[in-house]
Chains A and B, each alone.
Chain A
Amino acid sequence: MSHLKGRKIILHDMCLRDGMHAKREQISVEQMVKVATALDDAGMPYIQVTHGAGLGGNSLQHGFALASNEAYIEAVASRMKQAIVSVLLLPGLGTMKELKSAYSAGARSVHVATHCTEADTSPQHIAYARELGMDTTGFLMMSHLSDATSLAQEAKKMESYGANTVYITDSAGFMLPEDVTQRVTALRDVLKPETEIGFHGHHNMGLGISNSIAAVAAGASRIDGSVAGLGAGAGNTPLEVFIAVCERMGIETGVDLFKTMDIADEIIFPMMDHIVRVDKDSLTLGYAGVYSTFLLHAKRAAERFGVPARDILVELGRKKMIGGQEDMIQDTAMTMAKQRGLLKESF
């Protein structure tokens, strides 16, 4: 047992939201219900359910899901015994209208996500979520691009708008455990004691588990992950593994380990279109600090324009493209293809 024995944390499963990226948004309502009821039965306290890009995500930019967000949320929320259904909202993509209809469909928790330096685009949405009485998280994406002190200032803004939790979000799976420790510590120093801190990892460098443990050790009490790691890039922190590690360390999650393992092997793994793992492309994301969701888009552009996905991803990293700029993947691939003589100017 470790020095973290007895620490209580809250897990938040992302299979049915971040996992939508890995499934190109093609998870059916029936599959969602099957996964969510199994997670609910295992004691998972929070389950996120939306299009991969969240509310308002159905678009040419981010792909069209098999059903509307409301249809997914309603189908899942109506069957939960204890789990709370959450949603993702990126201001600039999702709006308060969509938050309201998600709430009506049964969502009671929301991650309001901005790029790590742009917290001040979220006051309307955070305040409105609180007004609705939702468990409200400010979600600072691509946190590796901000130093600890600046990140803490952005977190403070989200707290001031009404967020009861602020997440450090390692969207690129770039952070090392010491990066996580520094950032959680900086947030803990400036936020009110009652404001919780969360960590959302990606496994692109194989560090999802150790980064999440580092976060807990530094004072985080909420951890995002997904059973079997179903998520963008090399996936999220695999929760069944994380729960096992927590049990060995005496960290209390309240989630049943064996049931979670069974869900991973029997339900989630068979759903995967490709094995979500660290491979040369997802590792490139982590290594170069590129938004995990770009992976499948880059692979598609690579196929269409003949430029290797890894080259496209590295170039996107160099151009400092952030989450939401998926259109720049085709644009970048076309520009690179022209430079390499693979594509003619169209005029």
Chain B
Amino acid sequence: MKKIRCALIGSGNIGTDLIYKIQRSEVLEPVWMVGIDPESEGLARAAAMGLKTTADGIDGLLPHVLEDGIQIAFDATSAYVHAENSRKLNELGVMMIDLTPAAIGPLCVPPVNLKQHAEKVEMNVNMISCAGQATIPIVSAVSQVQGVEYAEIIASLSSKSIGPGTRANLDEFTYTTSNAIEVVGGAKKGKALAIINPAEPPMIMRNTIYCLTEGEPDEEKITASVMAMIKEVQKYVPGYKLVNGPSFEGNKVAVFMEVEGLGDYLPKYAGNLDIMTAAATRTAEMFAEEILAGKIELNPVEVA
């Protein structure tokens, strides 16, 4: 069966984990891995797994895009270089899945709004943040039942799973996730909190979602909606589990989740990284299915 050929930009933890997930896909094939450090472990591993590699950054990939039929790229570099990467690849008709906090394209949480983006043939979609992927489905599940005045999420992450980039730019994480709780989750106001816990053995990613509903919460409907949403997320992140709740107190709904990763390249406790790569893969698959079915066509984006 024909598969859509993909490039991975960024040879760190996320990029490397993506190779495994994309290799398992029935509609995607990882072809190129782009890095900037010829000595990096990620590039060596990619080469060993049969990918073509370059250590010359995005410019090392560009001459091969057309001949190798690359149609989808994943950017796991940084917010600072993403815009440039995206522009260069969009010009060649490659659609971009952004795993950085750059968020120049529309925000995507697969079970909430992916279909919409695929139908519109967006050429750049952003995956928000790990906390966003883990919590926004629940906010959305509540806001589908009744209005959410305010939603607040707390993501507890194991220290070992947080790289230097996120650590040095924690504010971006906070802003991006808070905004997405409103834009994608449907809350009138959103707030995101992140806690980095160094416990050994490392703790599995935990997320708490609080929603303040407009009026008294409809306990039965909200519980059903949350349970249905969890099943949707489990389709691409099997370790997405409810630990406690939904619990109701006045108009406050509390849901306590845990995210265990698949343990592909990253350890199982790093559910935060796994949910990003899994959501990005799911997003790419949706686009790939539409392309393969002839429903959408990717076209070069003209430079303004």
Q: Which residues of A contact B (CB under 8 A)?
A: 59-61, 91-93, 95-97, 115, 117-118, 120-121, 123-125, 145, 304, 319-322, 324-325, 327-328, 330-331, 334-335, 346-347
CA distance A191 to B256 in the complex (A): 41
The binding surface of chain B is classed by DSSP as: strand
Residues B169 and A92 in contact, CB atoms below 8 Å apart? no
Residues A124 and B170 in contact, CB atoms below 8 Å apart? yes
Given A118-B159, A320-B199: A346 and B170 within 8 A (CB)? no
Q: List 24 A-B contacts (CB under 8 A).
A: A60-B212, A60-B252, A61-B208, A91-B170, A92-B174, A92-B193, A92-B196, A96-B171, A115-B197, A118-B167, A120-B164, A120-B167, A304-B249, A320-B197, A322-B197, A324-B193, A327-B154, A327-B208, A330-B244, A334-B245, A334-B247, A346-B223, A346-B245, A346-B247
A92 is contacted by which of B195, B212, B243, B246 (Cβ under 8 Å)? B195
Give the 9 A-B residue pairs with the shortest CB-CB distance, closest first: A320-B199, A327-B208, A92-B194, A334-B244, A324-B195, A117-B198, A331-B256, A60-B210, A95-B171
A96 — which chain B residues lie within 8 A by C-beta?
A: 171
A59 is contacted by which of B152, B156, B194, B256 (Cβ under 8 Å)? B152
Residues A331 and B208 in contact, CB atoms below 8 Å apart? yes
Given A335-B244, A346-B246: A325 and B196 within 8 A (CB)? no
A346 — which chain B residues lie within 8 A by C-beta?
A: 223, 245-247
CB distance from A71 to the nearest CB of B (A): 19
Q: In this assembly, does B58 line the interface, its C-beta being within 8 Å of a C-beta of chain A?
A: no
Known: A92-B194, A324-B193, A327-B256. 8 other contacts (CB 8 A): A60-B150, A60-B152, A92-B174, A121-B196, A124-B169, A330-B244, A330-B247, A334-B256
Given A322-B197, A327-B256, A347-B223: A61 and B175 within 8 A (CB)? no
CB distance from B207 to the nearest CB of A (A): 9
CA distance A327 to B252 in the complex (A): 13
Per-residue CB contact flags for chain B residues 158-171 toward chain A (1 = under 8 Å, else 0) read 01000010011111
A60 — which chain B residues lie within 8 A by C-beta?
A: 150, 152, 210, 212, 252
Q: In this assembly, does B282 line the interface, its C-beta being within 8 Å of a C-beta of chain A?
A: no
Residues B174 and A95 in contact, CB atoms below 8 Å apart? yes
Per-residue CB contact flags for chain B residues 238-256 toward chain A (1 = under 8 Å, else 0) read 0000011111010010101
Residues B159 and A117 in contact, CB atoms below 8 Å apart? yes
Residue of B nearest to A128 (CB): B171
Q: Which residues of B contact A (CB under 8 A)?
A: 150, 152, 154, 156, 159, 164, 167-171, 173-175, 191, 193-199, 203, 206, 208, 210, 212, 223, 227, 243-247, 249, 252, 254, 256
CA distance A311 to B48 in the complex (A): 51
Residue of A nearest to B155 (CB): A92
A115 — which chain B residues lie within 8 A by C-beta?
A: 196-198
CA distance A331 to B156 in the complex (A): 13
Residues B193 and A347 in contact, CB atoms below 8 Å apart? no
B196 is contacted by which of A95, A118, A330 (Cβ under 8 Å)? A118
Residue of B nearest to A331 (CB): B256
Residues B244 and A61 in contact, CB atoms below 8 Å apart? no
Residues A325 and B197 in contact, CB atoms below 8 Å apart? yes
Residues B191 and A328 in contact, CB atoms below 8 Å apart? no
A93 — which chain B residues lie within 8 A by C-beta?
A: 193
CB distance from A124 to the nearest CB of B (A): 6
Residue of B nearest to A123 (CB): B168
B243 — which chain A residues lie within 8 A by C-beta?
A: 331, 335
Residues B254 and A330 in contact, CB atoms below 8 Å apart? yes
B210 — which chain A residues lie within 8 A by C-beta?
A: 60-61, 327
Residues B256 and A321 in contact, CB atoms below 8 Å apart? no
Given A120-B164, A124-B171, A328-B156: A61 and B193 within 8 A (CB)? yes
Most A CB contacts (10 A, CB to CB) among B175, B195, B249 go to B195
CA distance A320 to B173 in the complex (A): 24
CB distance from B139 to the nearest CB of A (A): 13
B256 — which chain A residues lie within 8 A by C-beta?
A: 327, 330-331, 334
CA distance A123 to B165 in the complex (A): 12
B244 is contacted by which of A304, A320, A322, A331 (Cβ under 8 Å)? A331
A59 — which chain B residues lie within 8 A by C-beta?
A: 152, 191, 193
B198 — which chain A residues lie within 8 A by C-beta?
A: 115, 117-118, 145, 322
Residues B152 and A61 in contact, CB atoms below 8 Å apart? yes
CA distance A347 to B220 in the complex (A): 10
Residue of A nearest to B193 (CB): A93
CA distance A324 to B167 in the complex (A): 16
B223 — which chain A residues lie within 8 A by C-beta?
A: 346-347
